[in-house]
Amino acid sequence: MSTQTITLTGHSIIAGREVVGTGGTTHGIDPSTNTELEPAYSLVDETQLAEATAAAEEAFESFSALHPETHAAFLERAAANIEAVGPELVARASTETGLPQARLNGELARTTGQLRLFASVVRQGDHRGVRLEPALPGRAPLPRPDLRQRKVPLGPVAVFGASNFPFAFSTAGGDTASALAAGCPVVFKAHNAHPGTGEIVGHALTEAVRESGLHPGVFSLVYGPGASIGQALVKDPAIKAVGFTGSRAAGTALMATAAARPEPIPVYAEMSSINPVFVFESVLRGNVDEFARAYVTSLTGSSGQLCTNPGLLFVPAGEAGDAFLTAVGRALADAEGATMLTPGIAASCRAGIDALRDQPGVDVVAQGREGSTENAPAPVVFASDVPTFSTNPVLQEEIFGAASLAIRYGSAAELADAARRMEGQLTASLFLTEADHATAAPLLPVLERKVGRILANGWPTGVDVGDAMVHGGPFPATSDSRTTSVGTLAIERFLRPVAYQNIPDALLPAPVQDDNPWHLNRRVDGRLQLADAQELAQEGAHS
């Protein structure tokens, strides 16, 4: 893709075509100044949206059957195209979101790294889940038929862009990357808070589709109001699954729409999490100022606008806990609010802080300084106790921003009881030493039922993208605790198993044919058969 200067058009991209929407317009906003950004972005109507979903349906048959090398090369080409426009992309995203360019450069690398990681997944092919049970005509009391199984793509997927990650959870982010890697065309609903960022990435993906010789319906990007176009997208019969990152209210609304369809479809929504951190007293015998600074750094990074922000901190009652919270006050005194993503998000953060401040039994531990812009609330830490936390649901509500609540606990039993009363979360963190292992052990089974990722001696912000990562959790953290939105396992969300019984080999799809033309690892009669081992055996048989 060319690195020439980018001119934004303000249009949706439907199956490779720029489309002027007829449903009104919107502008991006620079949250540091509250000024509108050019160009205006035209919003599609439902008829135009249907063009995108119809094109995705047309593209599905060919895209879902791509040879692994062609498929992987497409994902790599998309990554390269995005990197080619990196400087322009980061500059526009910083203007539209208020996020610093250093943070955005890291996120951009994560985004292209995800695409390349899924390319490696496609080449290896384990996600296809191939299982073979050759016929046993002599088996008693009944013969066994020839049975073969593989996982196939669900169909076109609707993906909604997130406000807080304009790259990694947006146009070419994890949901899009994993759906495309599964063989599912994507209709992407752009986030209206960073429309220019979405357009630049959308063109890079569209160009990758064209350069790879794929059906143009493999990817479309549309702009429109979430309450109407977003709902219409989920209702469209061509759409077979949904990926979403955002608020609990919006996520549950999409879930209700998907469930009410004549053909219900899965919604993989990441929604609300306050990510409890459990601090054991032995940890506080060390350098409490260093520990407090690390907590404040995790809390205030990206103005607290991270889904893994440590919004809940369990601290022992007594002198050690008092000393730590005093250290938190010292660390927070030097912290200044940073510009938040949008004026609306900043207003919601302030409202959440005010609501928590008004709760009985809740006190302010410390508060930082207001930032230099209108949309930069001061970071704040509150404190309460386990009985108050256990009886007041407001204390479990997420504040999307740099605000956290410290809960003082008196015993391990009280700590476990508080954990049982928590809603589902993305993460839980334990800060402990070897002396705390016996005390912490009973807490782990409780947390396994509540969260998707358990950390020891690490803050929850920062999610590694790899094979073993789980970024999910029980409701309301996500809509389906069996899945992850980060890491290679995310591809499983967009696949389903199909079995083939006594189908002639000439009619079978390549992954389950006898000679294994795609060189996949497969299970034969329940035992893993590596592709390399099979090839060596075949070579020996022919020699």
Domain extents for the chain?
Answer: 35-271+487-492, 276-456
Predicted TM-score (pTM) of the model is 0.95
Q: Which residue has the tokens 């752009």?
A: 190
Using alpha carbons only, what angle is made at residue 257 by residues 56 and 486, rounded to the nearest 5 degrees? 65
User: pLDDT value at position 532?
Assistant: 76
The Cα–Cα gap between 30 and 34 comes to 5
Phi, psi of 243, rounded to the nearest 5 degrees: -115, 130
What's the CATH superfamily of 35-271+487-492?
Aldehyde Dehydrogenase; Chain A, domain 1 (3.40.605.10)
Query: Are the C-beta atoms of 241 and 266 separated by less than 8 Å?
Result: yes
Using alpha carbons only, what angle is made at residue 34 by residues 31 and 36, rounded to the nearest 5 degrees? 105
pLDDT (tens place) for every residue of the chain, 543 residues total = 444 568 999 999 999 999 999 999 999 999 999 999 999 999 999 999 999 999 999 999 999 999 999 999 999 999 999 999 999 999 999 999 999 999 999 999 999 999 999 999 999 999 999 999 999 999 999 999 999 999 999 999 999 999 999 999 999 999 999 999 999 999 999 999 999 999 999 999 999 999 999 999 999 999 998 889 999 999 999 999 999 999 999 999 999 999 999 999 999 999 999 999 999 999 999 899 999 999 999 999 999 999 999 999 999 999 999 999 999 999 999 899 999 999 999 999 999 999 999 999 999 999 999 999 999 999 999 999 999 999 999 999 999 999 999 999 999 999 999 999 999 999 999 999 999 999 999 999 999 999 999 999 999 999 999 999 999 999 999 999 999 999 999 999 999 999 999 999 999 999 999 999 999 999 999 999 999 755 545 544 443
> How many CB atoms neighbour CB 18 within 10 A?
14
Query: Are the C-beta atoms of 165 and 182 separated by less than 8 Å?
Result: no
User: pLDDT value at position 539?
Assistant: 47
CA 313 vs CA 407, 436, 475, 539: distances in Å: 6, 17, 20, 60
User: pLDDT value at position 337?
Assistant: 97
User: pLDDT value at position 538?
Assistant: 53
Instruction: Of 306, 276, 393, 401, give the one whose Cα is nearest residue 344.
Output: 401
The Cα–Cα gap between 388 and 362 comes to 8
Say which amino acid occupies 399: I
Q: Residue 6 carries which DSSP code? A: P
CA 526 vs CA 125, 149, 280, 339, 489: distances in Å: 18, 12, 45, 55, 21
User: pLDDT value at position 227?
Assistant: 85
CA 48 vs CA 41, 373, 442: distances in Å: 15, 38, 55
Query: Are the C-beta atoms of 272 and 368 separated by less than 8 Å?
Result: no
User: pLDDT value at position 451?
Assistant: 98
> How many CB atoms neighbour CB 20 within 10 A?
11
User: pLDDT value at position 420?
Assistant: 95
The Cα–Cα gap between 185 and 7 comes to 26
User: pLDDT value at position 3?
Assistant: 45
Instruction: Indicate which residues carry an active-site annotation.
Output: 270, 307
**CATH class of segment(s) 276-456:** alpha beta
